[in-house]
Structure 1
Amino acid sequence: MKCDKNTMLLYAVTDRAWLGDMTLYQQVELALKGGVTCVQLREKELSDEDFLAEAIEISALCKKYGVPFFINDNVDIAVKCKADGIHVGQEDMAAAKVRERVGEDMMIGVSVHSVSEALEAVAAGADCLGVGAMFSTSTKADASVLPKDTLRDICNAVDIPVVAIGGIGKGNIDKLKGTGVDGVALVSAIFSAEDIESECRELRKLSEEMVRG
């Protein structure tokens, strides 16, 4: 399955740190109503059984809104819930191995931090790339901040969609203008918001402006 660059425009990555009185399902639906263009389910603490049950529910929700659904890291869960995509990092299963496991119909996203990693991911069958961290982020304390030039060089070097991630929010999306990136992947900027739906509407508008340059 090919990845449409419009899918990258406002890419929501879940984090249950900000659930409060809501369920993750409720938060994701608010984000979808607000205009997110892709959802990635990231779970580090849940058992595989609970992760799968949640994945099946949120996958169905995304289908209802016509938005692609990715699983983070866990290839087994992605296959079992018939996700649209799987996203892996440099320390996870290699993209070529992932392709062997998931077949040709599932999109594969890969986190990269350099042109060489990007080209290697494309050669291994990646359908889209995540590049970051672009700014300092509390979500991944060990992530190094990449120069904007690296993002630009990666976008120029590949012909698949690229999303920027890491510490991105309303105050700095515009700093990514002119890099050639197709959109932004956001965690806390979406899920820590008091009004997720209206926040996503605003973030989508800002991302559209950023992509237009």
Structure 2
Amino acid sequence: MDRRARLQTARLYLIASDRPGGRPLADVLGPALEGGVDLFQLRCKDAADETVLAASEVARELCAAAGALFFVNDRPDLAAAAGADGVHVGQDDMPVSRARQIVGADRLVGLSTHAPAEVDAADADLIGVGPVHATPTKAGRPAVGLELVRHAAAHARVPWFAIGGIDEDNAAAVIGAGAARISVVRAIADAPDPRAAAYRLRRMVETVALHHGPAHAA
């Protein structure tokens, strides 16, 4: 399937560094993909380009073998160089249009959104909606709660993933608020068994997709 077709069926998005939970990337990402992750973003804040590209090679090969999409955070130039499927940018980074120029029309661009107006105006291929709960990966960014999830469920025009402090204890409430796709970091990256953690989260979110269909998730 092409990238946009795979995006439509994606449900579980893992974001992690090159050393998730202090472990080699392959030791976490490989099992997570087996458990049901179908979109992975490499997020290496402040890392050297060489570090990002080396980790990208590992991630690209694992994701390709699993049929999952692979994104690089913040850096469309590195996403293109690494052969990634896309890049993810924030509201304070470069505009989506500029990121798209750099990665090319055949790759995907994701965008973080934190308010109803940002969800409504998003011109990306996919959006992250949150942070639903406070999270150390978004220090200083206030939690938006479930109201923004409900807004996205009603108004988002592109595939969207609820994000921010989501784990097995609170995912049901997020899914119940309308999220048919979720993004996680620590819930898988720090899990003793990434495969089992991914499997359980995937089962939770697939229940919504099964009962509500694609329209529920944009």
Supply the AA of the counterpart residue of 1:89.
G
Post-superposition CA distance 1:128-181 (Å, at most 9, x none): 010111012222221211132222212322221110000000011111234332
Unpaired runs of 5+ residues, structure 2, are: 213-218
Of all paired residues, the percent bearing the same amino acid is 34
CA distance in 2 between partners of 1:28 and 1:94 (Å): 29
* Residue 202 in structure 1 maps to residue 200 in structure 2: yes
Corresponding position of 2:139: 141
Per mean C-alpha deviation after superposition, the further-off stretch among 171-180 and 182-191 is: 171-180
- Normalized per residue, the structure richer in helix is 2
CA contact (8 A) 2:20 2:28 kept: no
Query: 1:92 corresponds to which letter in structure 2?
Result: D
CA contact (8 A) 2:175 2:205 kept: no
**1:105 corresponds to which residue?**
106
- Normalised to the residue count of structure 1, the TM-score between the two structures is 0.90
**Aligned counterpart, 1:29:** 30
Superposition deviation, residue 17 in structure 1: 5.3
Whole-Å Cα distance in 1 between the matches of residues 148 and 59 of structure 2?
A: 34
Structure with higher RCO (Cα < 8 A, 6+ apart): 1
Quote how far apart the aligned CAs of 1:76 are: 1.1
Partner secondary structure for residue 29 of structure 2:
helix
What residue in structure 1 maps to residue 79 of structure 2?
78
Q: Does the 8 A contact of 2:133 with 2:145 survive in 1?
A: no
Give runs of aligned pairs for residues 29-48 of structure 1, distance below 5 A.
29-48=30-49
Map 1:35-184 → 2, pairs under 5 A: 35-122=36-123, 126-184=124-182
For the residues of structure 2 that align with 1:132 and 1:86, how far apart are their CA atoms? 18
8 Å CA contact retained: 1:115, 1:153: yes
What residue number does 2:16 align with?
14
What is the rounded CA distance, in whole Å, between the counterparts of 2:62 and 2:82 in structure 1?
13
The equivalent residue for 1:191 is 189
The CA distance in 2 between the partners of 1:46 and 1:66, in whole Å, is: 27
**Which residue pairs with 1:2 in the alignment?**
4
What does the per-residue CA deviation read over 1:68-123, in whole Å, with 9 as the maximum and x for residues that have no partner?
A: 0011111111010121111111111111111121221011110001222123222x
**Are the counterparts in 1 of residues 111 and 128 from structure 2 also a CA contact under 8 Å?**
yes
TM-score (norm 2): 0.88
Residue in 1 that maps onto 2:216: none
Q: Specify the SS of the correspondent of 2:138.
A: coil
Structure 1, unaligned runs of 5 or more: none
Q: Distance in 1 between matches of 2:196 and 2:179?
A: 24
Deviation of 1:2 (Å): 2.5
What root-mean-square deviation, in Å, do the aligned CA atoms of Structure 1 and Structure 2 show?
1.7
Counterpart secondary structure, 1:12: strand
